Structure 1
């Protein structure tokens, strides 16, 4: 048994760090979300920011783009070209994707400064890409409403998770302690 533990120690350390960091960040985020009352259609601040920033991007293409609160559910209505196109819910703010990204980077330990810088860079990049994703999705839904499942359910999740996967590859191969050991 001891041999197995020693043999799989790097994997077990990775798994332990990932699970612990994911749980801590998820619990912190959930405690933040618990401050909002969904039964009163309250929306968390991150979701409102994402909705407003997405509407700002859309307003570059059409001045009739804006957000408004949804009065019956915890979401923000996104209006494009004067038409209600989509609702932005908590899951649209990409915080859960960012938590997954951060947990993986922490699990594949790197130098402290590199880790912090990469987490900040990756978080900002994911946020910006998510805003672009939502804006493009709204344009797509406006132009091709019959392709909602393909756009919302397949293409755009593939883009955001694909970018996160590429960031992970860069982290593991360039900045993690594993990368420095394999280069030598």
Structure 2
């Protein structure tokens, strides 16, 4: 009976091991910056979101809150949101990468994860920009935007990438 499920169990085991290794490595990274406020990667995401907002005419400044490990977005003379570690989408990217590596297909696996990482990074920066604009100009939609619409964008992007990986790479003979 288990013999029939061996390939599925193998993929599931690979996924779990890869996911745990990536999460532990990420936690080690976060712990090394704990005393400095927001980690450099999250800060880079915030900086790029602020840059884009400025390009779109939403004058934005960032304010570090080191003790609370966050950065505040000050947009058009109003505090609209704060960037914390969870906003950087790394946990979502780790989930994406663990799934792709569970269906390992040689060098194209690395190329696809790199391309997927870049795509998800861009989508996340755009998600933060969009959320800041909604909160600034339409605060009545901030809760639904933050809790439902904008998470759907990043998770939906991951699902689309997974479907592309399975359909065009992993199951291709």
**Partner SS state of residue 78, structure 1:** strand
2:51 aligned partner: 56
2:10 aligned partner: 13
Aligned: 1:180 with 2:145: no
Deviation at 1:139, TM superposition (A): 0.3
Deviation at 1:147, TM superposition (A): 1.7
Deviation at 1:66, TM superposition (A): 2.0
**Partner SS state of residue 8, structure 1:** helix
Q: Which has more radius of gyration?
A: 1
**Partner SS state of residue 109, structure 1:** coil
1:162 aligned partner: 156
Deviation at 1:71, TM superposition (A): 4.6
**Partner SS state of residue 69, structure 2:** coil
Q: Which runs of 4+ in 1 moved over 2 A?
A: none
2:74 aligned partner: 79
Unaligned runs of 5+ in 1: none
Partners of 1:159 and 1:113 in 2: CA distance: 28
Deviation at 1:81, TM superposition (A): 1.3
Number of residue-to-residue matches in the alignment: 173
Map Cα deviations across residues 57-79 of structure 1 (whole Å, 9 max, x no partner). 10012262121202541101112
Structure 2 length-normalised TM: 0.95
Partners of 1:33 and 1:71 in 2: CA distance: 14
1:133 aligned partner: 127
Structure 1 length-normalised TM: 0.90
Aligned: 1:152 with 2:146: yes
Aligned: 1:45 with 2:37: no
Q: Single out whichever of 144-153 and 20-29 deviates more from structure 2.
A: 144-153
Partners of 1:106 and 1:71 in 2: CA distance: 35
Aligned: 1:22 with 2:14: no
Partners of 2:120 and 2:63 in 1: CA distance: 24
